Amino acid sequence: MLQPKKTKHRKQQKMVRHIKRKENRGCTLAFGDFGLRSLEGAWITDRQIEAARRAMTRYVKRGGKVWIKIFPDKPISKKPAETRMGSGKGAPEYWVAEVCAGRILFEMTGVSREVAAAAFARAGSKLPVKTKLVARAETLI
């Protein structure tokens, strides 16, 4: 699973920061010909990112090249079940990437548009956000 090698602080506040806003960076394709864009904001866990990546690469039969444009760098902590109140914050359980509407999540090149669309549809079904396919000509607005 994806997670940072080293962090400044082991625990962070949860704060659902600005995931309701529209993203103004990471909105255009940087590497590939096709991309998967999120249409809403949410936390995407490291497991969901890995599941989407596997679904894409398996569908294209390891052809083409895939870039992951998001990274889970926010630790989410939980207290164990049936624990009394108090005694501090729980231990970090998993890592999430904060994603806003408009962010490119994955990019792909070396495949046809139909194959990319089908692969991204499979990847999008693994994610907690609505997504859409974008091509290089469509990203310039």
| CATH for 112 | 3.90.1170.10
- N- to C-terminal Cα separation, the chain: 34
Is residue 52 included in any domain, yes or no?
Answer: yes
Q: What average pLDDT does the segment 107-113 reach?
A: 94
- Would residue 38 count as lying in a domain? yes
Whether residue 71 is contained in a domain is answered as yes
Asked if the structure places residue 60 within a domain, the reply is yes
Domain hosting 38: range is 34-78+92-136
pLDDT tens by residue, 18-51: 677 888 888 999 999 999 999 999 999 999 999 9
> Quick check: is 43 in a domain?
yes
Can you tell me the distance from the alpha carbon of 106 to that of 43, in angstroms, rounded to the nearest whole number?
15
pLDDT over 70 for what percent of the chain? 96
Helix (H, G, I), strand (E, B) or coil at 104: strand
> Is 90 a residue whose pLDDT tops 80?
yes
Number of structural domains found in the chain: 1
Q: For the residues 1-7, what does the mean pLDDT come to?
A: 89
Rg (CA), the chain: 17
- 42 phi, psi to nearest 5 deg: -170, 170
- What gap in Å lies between CA 56 and CA 101, rounded to an integer? 21
Q: Residue 110, by phi and psi: left (phi above 0), alpha (psi -120 to 50) or beta?
A: left
Report field, pTM of the whole predicted structure over 0.95: no
Q: If you average pLDDT over residues 9-13, what whole number do you get?
A: 90
Residue 83 lies in a domain: no
CA 18 to chain centre: 16
